[in-house]
Chains A and B, each alone.
Chain A
């Protein structure tokens, strides 16, 4: 069979994360030599210092200034170059993650509470977190510092993942989607479904990266879903707490669901990655080209569309929906809602289309949660934009400030509707 795009995710279920003299994975416990990892990360001279802390589920602990969350992985077989990603055996250490923190002035706060009401909303509250708390070297500019932070997160996640080298995973998830040449002869009678995945890149410190490159001038591009599951998309924008973390991208819920039903109730024909551009002209071009790729190259009869931004991204959703429906590709849109604190706002989205008749809502962004006081805070002492020294206190925050509470990809059960 042509095409070697077969990916196996070898899952290691890690139940505990502890400090140890050697970094090793034994009997479901990951021991970490924090000093060794700290020295590794400090090799990057854009840092003056890097502190590492652990936060466990159930602790009265709050992690603040969260920028990204990364799942520890290790490439067991297959080559480690961007163009080979999506093939081979990749180890996944499930149950733990690396949290990258950092305070950039003017950015919105992102927190993870390890217990209390806040913990009910974030999936990361149920994982053991290794938290990176960096200090910038004097004089380093924000763009370089952000690059250093992104690399540190990935480097730490790889370092942890490497503890699984040579070990046998407990479970193996297999992902194999043959090339389009095989589609004609298989899955006959099954509806062909494509996935249009928008990413948001608009400027320095507000970029996503695809295969290591920001997507600012990306024309819609076909990728194999395995490439996304194997790390092709890295989070690159410190702001927007209701973002898709790198963790959420490597576990893209829409891709996983389409794979689950592939060859049973549908035929998954591929993924189109598109960018939320900063001009209407570019948005229309992206929408039109995505629709053509879906209809005429992938041969899809339908597509799921997900977004990656705030209000301006609603225009992309509507344009993409219209162009797809016009090209004969029926669509479902997945989106969060901007209905305000009490859900009485005039509109959930900032744009509309008569064609957008099938929408899955993954929750209202502005609903607030009252977070309880914590004994310990990792990452700083004051929440961004608020009075000094109050990061440990009881506080009311919008869901958009709880990292992972809202998902553009639909990985949790949150929704919204008219209820009593």
Chain B
């Protein structure tokens, strides 16, 4: 990269030295060069970069209409040539951290240059924006300004130079709420033995996966009167009409099917079959009622034990499915059943 990296810096009215809370309604303005903490940032940049402009805006002004104000700021910056934008550090400030996040997001999207904010992990702006922009982790306290500026400068320069950005723990930014595959320096087996030796040696180690802990599910209340209840049938055993017309995958299924049973009392092998990678479908294919007990449900319906069997069933193949997809299916299916005033469902799993 030729020449110094050109940086625009966002500050609120306080750090931008325009006043305290009484100045929180100020509209955005641009000043040439670094202001306030920007001066310390300039020292850290040394010859690598320069703050060509500082954007200062009142916290209240920004908070009232963040998207519009972000646009206003983008317009104000139209004459500037910029390589990267930085915002804050806003530490634990509520409105300020939201403004920093909105500013960076707009810069990224509209000016197509990288943008990085710096704030405390618990700040409101962190929660909302951490999936969309880089946010350098700071403490909650402005007294840690030097450290915060150092982290911010480091990452901003790397982004401007389009260098490869490492893991959150290495570069000091808040982890994004999604994961991607990546190529590590050592094989999984080598990493496993390294990790084990560190763990038994009492040395620090970093797990590569922090497990999600599932919270309990509160069960629905009992069905008040079964004899008038609508009951649905659901299966994760991969039952489909013969030929699997919707091509539901037998492992890592990405969809579920909804199939009509309103006119039949019994599932037969000429009409239905099972596609599922986790069990042998031979017995189910001989008589699909073994997987989805429609024949018995119809008996209960005739006897008056239950009110009515819902005229369609839901089916997917629950084999190596990821929890997120299953969650999504469950939400959609339960919503559909509630709208249809269904009181209960039987799910058969294999």
Contact = CB atoms under 8 A, between A and B. Distances in A.
Nearest to B279: A203
For the complex, would chain B's binding face be called helix, strand, loop or mixed by DSSP majority? loop
B121 to A, nearest CB: 13
B216 interface: no
Interface string A362-384: 11111100000000000000000
Contacts of B208: 359-361, 415-417
Contacts of B325: 340, 345
Contacts of B183: 413-415
A332 B199 contact: yes
Nearest to B176: A418
User: In the complex, which range does the number of interface residues on chain B fall in?
Assistant: 35 or more
Contacts of B190: 257, 410
Contacts of A344: 177-178, 324
A106 B188 contact: no
B323 A202 contact: no
A410 B276 contact: no
B184 to A, nearest CB: 4
B197 to A, nearest CB: 6
Interface string B43-75: 000000000000000000000000000000000
A106 B250 contact: yes
A265 interface: yes
B78 interface: no
Given A363-B181, A409-B188, A345 B252 contact: no
Given A191-B200, A344-B178, A108 B192 contact: no
A334 B192 contact: yes
Given A343-B179, A358-B199, A385-B249, 8 more contacts: A106-B238, A106-B273, A339-B322, A345-B324, A354-B213, A358-B207, A418-B167, A419-B166
Interface centre among A265, A340, A350, A353 (most CB of B within 10 A): A340
Contacts of B252: 108, 338, 365-366, 398, 400
A347 B165 contact: no
B191 interface: yes
Contact of A349 (B207, B211, B254): B211
A419 B189 contact: no
A251 B188 CA distance: 14
A193 B327 CA distance: 38
A206 B325 CA distance: 24
A23 interface: no
Given A106-B250, A346-B323, A419-B182, A352 B212 contact: yes
A59 interface: no
Given A108-B250, A358-B195, A410-B188, A330 B324 contact: no
B187 A410 contact: yes
A413 B250 CA distance: 28
B209 A310 contact: no
B196 interface: yes
Interface residues of A, number: 84
Contacts of A364: 179-181
Contact of A410 (B192, B201, B321): B192
Contacts of A348: 179, 209, 211-212
Contacts of A331: 196
Interface in A378-397: 385-386
Contacts of B320: 240, 242, 309-311, 338, 365, 400
A204 B182 CA distance: 36
A218 to B, nearest CB: 18
Interface of A: 105-108, 142, 191, 193, 202-206, 239-242, 253-254, 256-258, 261, 265-266, 301-302, 304, 309-312, 330-332, 334-335, 337-354, 356-367, 385-386, 398-400, 407, 409-420
B214 A107 contact: no
Contacts of A257: 187, 189-190, 192-193
A168 to B, nearest CB: 30
A272 B280 CA distance: 27
A191 to B, nearest CB: 5
B344 interface: no
B286 to A, nearest CB: 13
Contacts of A203: 279-280
Contacts of B250: 106-108, 239, 385
Given A346-B323, A367-B180, A418-B175, A359 B196 contact: no
Contact of A330 (B184, B196, B244, B249): B196
B185 interface: yes
A360 B188 contact: yes
Minimum-distance CB pairs A-B, first 6: A410-B188, A345-B324, A310-B320, A338-B322, A347-B212, A253-B189
B275 interface: yes
B278 interface: yes
Contact of A418 (B179, B200, B251, B254): B179
A345 B211 contact: no
B282 interface: yes
A193 B134 contact: no
B181 A416 contact: yes
A357 B277 CA distance: 30
B322 A410 contact: no
Interface in B202-248: 205, 207-209, 211-214, 238, 244, 247
B263 to A, nearest CB: 26
B179 A304 contact: no
A332 B199 CA distance: 9
Given A106-B250, A332-B199, A346 B185 contact: no
A317 B165 CA distance: 32
A398 B250 CA distance: 13
A364 B178 CA distance: 11
A17 B168 CA distance: 46
Interface in B255-310: 273-282
Contacts of B193: 193, 254, 257-258, 261, 266, 304
Contacts of B211: 347-349, 352-353, 356, 359
A418 B168 contact: yes
